[in-house]
Amino acid sequence: MQPSMLMLIIAIFTSLGLALGLMLLLYIVHRYDQRLRILEAQYSRIIDWNKRVSYALAKALESSEADEVLRRLRRKARRRYIVFVVLSEEKYSPETLSKAIEEKVKELGGLLGAAEANVQLVYYDLKRDVGILRTNYHAKHLVLAALSLVRRIGSNRVMVIPLATTGTIKRAKVIASQIPS
């Protein structure tokens, strides 16, 4: 065999080998790409599923919170009775005093706070200046703070001293009756 023939055969085999290698490489890349796409699809499916699960959990939590709110709404409104004594330079009618307290509650808590508090003067002893206020359980602190801000009625100085807070008017009246004049 002539050397040129041998070289030609070697060249053909080499190029065939290279072509095959290239095809193999392209095949591997193609398979890798396919696999990557499958993995991406699976990953996005998992993310999507996770989103759905967390949304469902949030909704379940919301509904349980809503249930709790509903349960609270169905319950009878809890009240608090605040027994107080008034120190003043002058005697006031229950209406005047009640108006002054309501004004301060509105000033401190705003209209919504006043609506929530629903302050009512349920008892007032003019002789001893002892009174009982009824308010919502959740607005107890607002009313107590507002009472301490009542410092003047007209031009006279006043001080409203909270003595006790009770859950029933019966107990509040017992406490009020024990206060000396």
Whose Cβ is closer to another protein: residue 132's or residue 143's?
A: 143
**Alpha-carbon span 83 to 162, nearest angstrom:** 6
Q: What is the DSSP letter of 168?
A: S
Residue among 107, 130, 133, 111 nearest 122 (CA): 133
**Alpha-carbon span 103 to 97, nearest angstrom:** 10
**Residue 178 within binding range of another protein, rule CB under 8 A:** no
Q: Which helix (H) or strand (E) holds 162?
A: strand 156-166
- Binding track, positions 78-107, relative to another protein; x by CB under 8 A: ---------x--------------------
- Of 23-31, 38-46, 154-162, 170-178, the segment contacting another protein by CB under 8 A is 154-162
Separation of CA 144 from chain center: 24
Sheet holding 152-153, edge to edge: 120-125, 130-136, 79-88, 156-166, 152-153
Rounded to the nearest whole angstrom, what is the least distance from the CB of residue 64 to another protein in the complex?
A: 25
**Residue 109 within binding range of another protein, rule CB under 8 A:** yes
**Residue 147 within binding range of another protein, rule CB under 8 A:** yes
Whose Cβ is closer to another protein: residue 122's or residue 158's?
A: 158
Residues 127-146 that bind another protein (CB under 8 A): 140-145
**Residue 148 within binding range of another protein, rule CB under 8 A:** yes
The site for another protein (CB under 8 A) is made up of 87, 108-109, 140-145, 147-149, 151, 157-159, 161-162
